[in-house]
Amino acid sequence: MEASNQSAVTEFVLLGLSAHPKLEKTFFVVILLMYLVILLGNGVLILVSVSSSHLHTPMYFFLGNLSFLDICYTTSSVPLVLDGFLTPRKTISFSACAVQMFLSFAMGATECVLLSMMAFDRYVAICNPLRYPVVMSKAAYVPMAASSWVAGGANSLVQISLAVQLPFCGDNVINHFTCEILAVLKLACADISINVISMGMANVIFLGVPVLLIFVSYFFILITILRIASAEGQRKAFSTCSAHLTVVVIFYGTILFMYAKPKSKDPLGANKKDVSDKLISLFYGVVTPMLNPIIYSLRNKDVKAAVRSLLSQKCFTQR
């Protein structure tokens, strides 16, 4: 079946902003700068979390995984987007499209699970601090992080395997910057109800369940913080989870904005709406990974101290 699919459609055309060539140059510069910030910011976080011994804790282990995940997630799509901004005819082979869909889908699902693991880590740290070294031992947090990657990869493998088995024998123009799975499924010349049901179940598992776990974790965290007598104690307790909570709000808030916003009923504005939807999706893929290292380092004394220590060591070595 897969061989016959590829004989019918050997490549896809990525529409992107082809109808707006002037915008392409502007967005090339903007997205390139954001991508460089992502690589630099997340790379520095990974480096300090590995090199600084006092950051060898579950929280920073998860943070290092999150930073590596953000680099992988953006690298799976941003270079393709940047190339598309400079190429008159933007094409991608069937197999490359499948690989790109797999990586993007896997990284997205992994991040959902990983954020819930990080919420549980903050729950144990604040609500059961005396048991924290036992509950969040290395024998626990390493498998937790590994299971996030395995679960995201397995889910993506199922979804993409179902997608590539579909016959693509007609239109091969993807109305997007990348091989976004929903845009690709629209091009299939067969019933996609199984794909829709499968993705719906995956959304419940990889979006609904993590959100529920995060909500329950922070519910108990809030109760514990409110029971602290001093305002200073409450502030210190909240500061240990404020960065993660901010990242969660941005991550899920953007998803909610993308998929829950009302549909326009004005047919004359359909083209503008189509462009805005694609741009929102594009910036969703780069804004959150760019903000994550900024949020985690802005008010984090440990990370700031580790970065300063790393820079001072490099300056001393150069001398």
Interval 19-54: pLDDT, tens: 777 788 888 999 999 999 999 999 989 998 888 888
What ranges make up the beta strands (E) of the chain? 11-14, 91-93, 173-174
For residue 314, what pLDDT band results from cuts at 50, 70 and 90? Answer: low
Separation in Å, CA 120 to CA 197, 222, 224, 228, 252: 29, 13, 14, 20, 17
Structure tokens at 251: 């991550």
Q: What is the pLDDT of residue 318?
A: 57
Q: Are 41 and 303 in contact (CB under 8 A)?
A: no
Q: What is the pTM of this model?
A: 0.86
Q: What is the pLDDT of residue 236?
A: 87
Q: What is the pLDDT of residue 15?
A: 83
Closest CA to 111 of 207, 199, 180: 207
- C-alpha span between 265 and 263 (Å, rounded): 6
Q: What is the pLDDT of residue 86?
A: 85
Q: What is the pLDDT of residue 117?
A: 95
Mean pLDDT is lowest, of 97-111, 162-176, 289-303, for 289-303
Q: Who has greater pLDDT, 54 or 162?
A: 162
Q: What is the pLDDT of residue 49?
A: 87
29: Cβ contacts below 8 Å, ≥ 6 apart: none
219: Cβ contacts below 8 Å, ≥ 6 apart: none
Q: What is the pLDDT of residue 3?
A: 44
- C-alpha span between 136 and 117 (Å, rounded): 11
Kindly report, residue by residue over 198-247, the tens digit of the pLDDT: 999 998 999 899 999 999 999 999 999 999 888 888 888 888 888 899 89
- C-alpha span between 6 and 168 (Å, rounded): 8
Q: What is the pLDDT of residue 144?
A: 96
Kindly tell me if the per-residue pLDDT of 307 is higher than 50.
yes
For residue 194, what pLDDT band results from cuts at 50, 70 and 90? Answer: very high
Kindly tell me if the per-residue pLDDT of 102 is higher than 90.
yes
- One-letter amino acid for residue 95 of the chain: S
Mean pLDDT of 295-305: 75
Q: Sign of the C-alpha dihedral, residues 50, 32, 111, 92?
A: negative
